[in-house]
Amino acid sequence: MAFGSAIPTVGVDTLAPGDFLLDVREDDEWAAGHAEGALHIPMSDFVARFGELTEKAPDGGRINVICRSGGRSAQVTMYLVQQGMDAVNVDGGMQVWAAAGRPVVDAHGAPGAVI
């Protein structure tokens, strides 16, 4: 899904272990499989839970936003950029993450799946 050049985007291959990752998928998607260590705030709750992000995001660091395929995360990225934050959309989302062989865990820490 292309959103134009206004939304900063990075590829999964550019992310290093330990980079801050914000997952904006819904609870069922998260429970089925997510990147270990990511912060989960569903897009549907994002504005109400914005404070959680500001508490946990690295001070002055980049926020890598991810969803299933890149559409929802692009919207959240745009919102964060408008708030003056350093945020980027992870191109292709968790589908590309998993296809690249990056680890995906379920809600119990076992191997997960992207739904």
Q: Are 69 and 98 in contact (CB under 8 A)?
A: no
Q: How far apart are CA 97 and CA 90, in angstroms?
A: 9
- Known catalytic residue at 60: no
Q: How far apart are CA 35 and CA 38, in angstroms?
A: 6
3-class SS letters over 47-73:
CCCHHHHHHHCCCCCCEEEECCCCHHH
Which of 22, 63, 65, 67 is flagged as catalytic? 67
For the annotated catalytic residues, the residue numbers are 67
